[in-house]
Structure 1
Amino acid sequence: MARAWITDLWVKDAVVDLPDGTTTKISPTSAQLRALKALPDHFRTTRYGQGQRWSARWHDPRTDKPRSRAFTRRSDAEAFIASLEDDIRSDRYIDPSAREQTFAAIAEAWLASKGRIKDSTWRRYRRELDNYVLPKWQHTPVGSISRPQIDAWVLQLRDGTAPHVFDVNQHIKTTARTPAKMAPAYLGHIVRSTFGGAIRYAVAEAIIGRNPLANVELPRDEGDIENDLPHLSYPDIETLADTAHELTGRPDDELLLELLAYSGPRIGEATALKVRDLDPDNDRARIHRTWTVDREGRRKLGPVKTWEKRWLPVMPSLMRELVKLTAGRGPDDFVFTAPRGGPIDGGNWYTRVWTKTRTNAGLAHTMSVHDLRHVAATNAIAAGADVKLVQQMLGHKDATETLNTYAHLWPDRVAEVIAAVEQRRAEALRAESRDAA
């Protein structure tokens, strides 16, 4: 096992000559050590009174190289050595100097290691690091980050008072962007996913020994989900679709809106559909690609996640309209096209069609395009769709995600089951009574 010891950098043993011509070493007495300022010169090292007095020294168990760390007080050095020896015995040894690396260095190494994530995910990590995480932690030694510090930062993020740095694009805005109170979901991603990703990387690479984020409690979204879920009736959807057609004069916009509201694809998935993805015989469309961005922010087509590959159910009446819309096009042409040709840009469609349609129709005033997924799900559930069907329709990873969002929309089924149980009970009791008679 590696040795660990403490060295006094200010005081040394003195070599004295004896009457018989030999030499011997003598140590300062306890009284001399207590009166350190009056310590005789022959007990003083060349570093006497300079810097920190105590040096904890050991051999790195992985490289066998000598290491050291200085302390002002001997008690601190002793505590450090005790902890170090315990870590070495338990095979938990971590180079103490590694803990002194700045969080910024660890975060950049973590992000550079993410070779399998989508470019759009990389851009989100990059944006959150630059906007919120690095302004707070970039110069902090990663080994000094504690839970109380993280707790305080979480409160600042929630209240909109956390350190931040936003890019200023004068072509878009002439006033600087300021942070607002942060929604729990967004806060959770910044803390758990982005900040937490770098911290977990440091633990995995034996840079720090424990995760200070492990027991941090984040704010919960306490909104009333039953009332927060957006909803549109069938007449409302048709009014919005008709208004979109009147606004642009293009069936593409009307049918895209209907597909979003009735079948629930994401806007990037819907606008990535090609003619060959339509299956009119089975009233469905194949979802296996989506619009995303590369690391420079340029739009590109990319694959959806594995569990999001699916066949999207399409109403027969809507499928017939989509077939008409794409008549004469090649299999690799897009189903929905922009006014000047080519695919529709989801962000552009939001501004050009959706916001104006909401205003002109007097409906869905606060709804985003993504909210139409909730509209599709709530109407499907009301029509009798079970959990598995809604999960597959929306491309959720598992039924848990679906239930977490929509479980309250299946309350009547419980009443139906209880009513059926009561009916069968009554029938069984009547039959028993007749047999007894």
Structure 2
Amino acid sequence: MGGGDRWSSTHGRWAYQLELPAHADGRRRNPLRRSGFSSQEEVEAELEHARALLALDEDPHVRRKVADLMLSTLKDTRALPPVEEVRRKVRTRQDLNPTVTVTEWLSEFLRRKRKIDVTTRRSYEAHIRLYFTPYLGHIRLDRLRVSDIAGMFDAIEEFNDVITTARASGDPAQRAAVRYRRPVGPATMHRIRVTLRHALNIAIKQDRLIDFNPAAVVELPDAERPKALVWTDERVADWNRELHQRLAAEQQRRGTRLSRAGTINVYVSTSRPSPVMVWTPAHTSAFLAQAAGHRLFALYRLIALRGLRRGEAVGLRWKDVDLNAGTAGVHWQITQLGWEPVQGRPKTEASDRTIALDADTITALRAHRKRQAAERLAAGQAWTESGFVFTDQIGRPLHPQQVSDQFYLLAFEAGLPPVRLHDLRHGAASLMLAAGVDLKIVQETLGHVSSTFTRDTYTSVYPEVARAAAESTAALISTATDNGPRARLINLPTMTGDTTI
């Protein structure tokens, strides 16, 4: 029948047959046969559609790919792919294989990302495992729609409710089912979308598998950075009342007196006015007094006064510390991926920095080094010469989570309202700004890329500083009134009649 023909059966139904390009090894391919058309016009239209697809490119390789696409699309949808869509893919050299799923592409995407750090890779892997594969993985990549991605985020929000309900339940089985899951907030949802958008951009730019990125136009709630609040007396009193109510409720639920660990768990988990809370200078002083006898006192002082990140403090090395010059080089960090600690350099050039040390911190570090030497002597051959400033009793690097757990215990023992260990960094910035330290120096001490970020992030104002500023402002008026005559500065004409405004 040559390049293509059509005919009508005795029952008035029309059919056509069309020769397809041979396989790459020269073997003849079975012709495309289609039947069941109700009119000659209908069969003519589809035959011309098929011929137009095969005529899009003279390259035999491309023609074979188009034929494969035609057959697979007919099998899935019982219709030929649109000519303009295929023409665009052929012109832009996109892959015409329609069977690549989201899961298959994301696996390829991860395989290609060889030059990313371990933290970023683990983040990508978590997003793919927890969200993309369960919700989107089965969808063909070229058929992924904006509504599919929006539906994924709706499902994540629904699961947030499941987590919250299960955690509040008295059923151990329900609580165990979500033990390692926590609600996904707006900021995390934006990070999930960034990962998917990046993976789909690679599919567009490198492989031309798709020509539109649906993740780029999905709308999400604003991921506003939570405002840091200072623990004022009023906030502490309100929080303390809620703490005691929760302690009583938890004790009644268990039917027994809470253990120390259980009490601290309620202490940490009782809701706060903001996710980010800042201690006052008096609170920080009380914490450091409580921590003074602990072997990690110098670590907590560095975070509280110099604003080191947890990983930077844990990763500080003796070779980068010069106690005579009063400096410490922040050139290494130990971060946490799941439970696994990972050593590496700071992620940004600004984070790789040298900070100045005050005299009391230098004294604390000297005492710490002396204590560490005694621990080395006591450990003998069991000692590990890791080179880190802060180690366990046999010289091994500290696990970051152990530092956080000890911090909560010390804060609890000091009778202080809870803050996260990272919030000590907010406190350090607030202390520096309240002390009149130049914003540029605060930025460099904290390791920020720009002072704008420092200014926008660390805006907590201590009540006593705010009151002092208010008094200073009012004093300018009082001083001007006391020291000068109440003179008229301009001469106004005498006004008569009704002057009511």
Shift of residue 404 of structure 1? 3.3
| TM-score, normalisation: structure 1 | 0.72
1:52-71 alignment, distance < 5 Å: 55=50, 56-58=53-55, 63-66=61-64, 67-68=66-67, 69-70=70-71
> Pick from 366, 374, 388: which aligns with 1:323?
366
1:96-107 alignment, distance < 5 Å: 96-97=96-97, 99-107=98-106
Asked whether 1:301 is paired with 2:343, we answer yes
CA distance in 1, matches of 2:96, 2:177: 41
Shift of residue 402 of structure 1? 2.2
Does the 8 Å contact 1:104/1:139 carry over to 2?
Answer: yes
Question: After superposition, what is the alpha-carbon deviation per residue over 1:308-342, rounded to whole angstroms, capped at 9, x for unaligned?
Answer: 11012322211122123224859973322323433
Taking a change above 3 Å as real, the CA distance of residues 102 and 304 of structure 1, as seen in their structure-2 partners, is same
Shift of residue 344 of structure 1? 2.1
One-letter amino acid matched to 1:12: D
Does the 8 Å contact 1:239/1:361 carry over to 2?
Answer: yes
CA distance in 2, matches of 1:117, 1:369: 27
Q: State the match for 2:26 in structure 1.
A: none
Taking a change above 3 Å as real, the CA distance of residues 394 and 163 of structure 1, as seen in their structure-2 partners, is same
Residue 49 of structure 1: SS of its match in structure 2? strand
Question: After superposition, what is the alpha-carbon deviation per residue over 1:289-317, rounded to whole angstroms, capped at 9, x for unaligned?
Answer: 111468x9753431112331101232221
Q: State the match for 2:219 in structure 1.
A: 217
Does the 8 Å contact 1:293/1:300 carry over to 2?
Answer: yes
Q: State the match for 1:168 in structure 2.
A: none
Taking a change above 3 Å as real, the CA distance of residues 93 and 244 of structure 1, as seen in their structure-2 partners, is same
Does the 8 Å contact 1:387/1:399 carry over to 2?
Answer: yes
CA distance in 2, matches of 1:142, 1:40: 35
Shift of residue 127 of structure 1? 1.9
Taking a change above 3 Å as real, the CA distance of residues 314 and 364 of structure 1, as seen in their structure-2 partners, is farther
Residue 299 of structure 1: SS of its match in structure 2? strand
| TM-score, normalisation: structure 2 | 0.63
Q: Which fold has the larger relative contact order, with Cα–Cα distance below 8 Å and residues 6 or more apart in sequence?
A: 1
Task: Give the count of matched residue pairs.
Answer: 378
Taking a change above 3 Å as real, the CA distance of residues 40 and 214 of structure 1, as seen in their structure-2 partners, is closer
One-letter amino acid matched to 2:12: A
Q: CA RMSD in A?
A: 4.5
CA distance in 2, matches of 1:307, 1:373: 16
Does the 8 Å contact 1:132/1:163 carry over to 2?
Answer: no
CA distance in 1, matches of 2:222, 2:355: 32
Single out whichever of 110-119 and 219-228 deviates more from structure 2. 219-228
Does the 8 Å contact 1:158/1:187 carry over to 2?
Answer: no
1:250-289 alignment, distance < 5 Å: 250=294, 252-289=295-332
Does the 8 Å contact 2:315/2:333 carry over to 1?
Answer: yes
Q: State the match for 1:426 in structure 2.
A: none
Question: After superposition, what is the alpha-carbon deviation per residue over 1:240-285, rounded to whole angstroms, capped at 9, x for unaligned?
Answer: 123234xxx43x3222111111111111111221222222344321
CA distance in 1, matches of 2:278, 2:16: 88
Q: Which runs of 5+ in 2 are unaligned?
A: 19-30, 38-42, 164-173, 230-273, 377-384, 477-489, 491-501
Shift of residue 40 of structure 1? 7.7
Q: State the match for 2:154 in structure 1.
A: 155
Shift of residue 85 of structure 1? 3.3
CA distance in 1, matches of 2:16, 2:333: 79
Does the 8 Å contact 1:242/1:254 carry over to 2?
Answer: no
Q: State the match for 1:49 in structure 2.
A: 35
